[in-house]
Structures are given as structure tokens and as C-alpha cells.
Amino acid sequence: LAHDLPRSRTVLFGGAVAALQFANDTWEYDPGTIARWTAYGSGCAGTSGVPVLQPVYASLPIVGTTFPVELLGIPSNTAAISFGFSDVQWNGNTLPFDLGTIGMTGCMLRASPEFLFFAPVAGGRATLAWPLPNAASLTGVRFFSQGFVLDPGVNPLGATVSNAGAGIIGPF
């Protein structure tokens, strides 16, 4: 029994039919879509370092649950987390997009921000609980997220961004 990581399935060879009758069978188990969230890219430095976006306690985007994400390293009381459906383009622009063009020197937009949610900030951390309906139609939906932080004086616009994350909503 082994897990085939490149093909995301478990493979079993052999087995027994009866005592001392061995089988030469090969069986594969493909669990289908599995919930996941992976960080990618990097953010840009602010007065408290580079903001970091991550799931709370390694949670996963599973239908019928709440997917909590947190933004760490926030120097102010204003932060937002975006969710979108592309890491390739947004609003006619190719991603990643250099946000230096709007005054965020050294920052890149890595995920399309179709939905932007302001998150309460406490102790340099903003947490957002994203409720995922218990709908099988959401299984397999890919999404992308990124954090935005007001940080006056760090660049002409006074804002920074975090790393981004790519997720797939799964049944487990």
C-alpha cells in the first residue's frame, strides 16, 4: 500500500483470496476533491514587517463549515481580506499586477479581489470567518485570497498586501 503523490491517489498491490492464495491485484483509491489551501507569493513590507495570510489553526475550506483565515503583522486597526476566482487576471490586467502604479511601491496584487471583507483587528491580527454553505455544488470551486492593510507612511498610498492563498472547497 502506498500513496502516489503526483496522481493524488492510494495504490494497493496484492492481497489474499484465502489462506496461502495470494492475489496479484492492483487497486487504486481516488478520494476525489479534497479541501485545501496553499500560500503562494509574498507580500510587501510595512512598519510591522510583511503581513501574512493563513488559515486559523490549519483549517480547511469544507462545505457546511466556516473557513477562518487570519492576517498577521498588522500595524493599524484597518485590514481587509479578499476572495476571488483567478490568479491569472483581474479587471483586464494580468496577475501578478504591480501595485506600484497606484502608490504601493514593492507590492503585487496576486489574487483577483472580487469580494473584499473588512476584518476586525486585535493585537496585530485580523480574523475573518468565511461561512461555506452546505451545498455540494461548491465542491471543487477554486478560489484565491489576499490581505490588504492600511499602513500610513510606508509608501505613497499608505498600504501593504500579504502573501496570497489558493484554495479548493472540498467535502472533507
Helix, strand, or coil (residue 87): coil
- CA-to-CA distance for 104 and 166, rounded, in angstroms? 23
pLDDT tens-digit readout, 54-108? 999 999 999 999 999 999 999 988 999 999 999 999 999 999 999 999 999 999 9
- In the chain, what percentage of residues exceed pLDDT 70? 100
- CA-to-CA distance for 162 and 48, rounded, in angstroms? 12
Residue 167's pLDDT band (boundaries 50, 70, 90)? very high
Q: What is the pTM of this model?
A: 0.83
Helix, strand, or coil (residue 28): strand
Pairing type for strands 97-98 and 108-109 reads: antiparallel
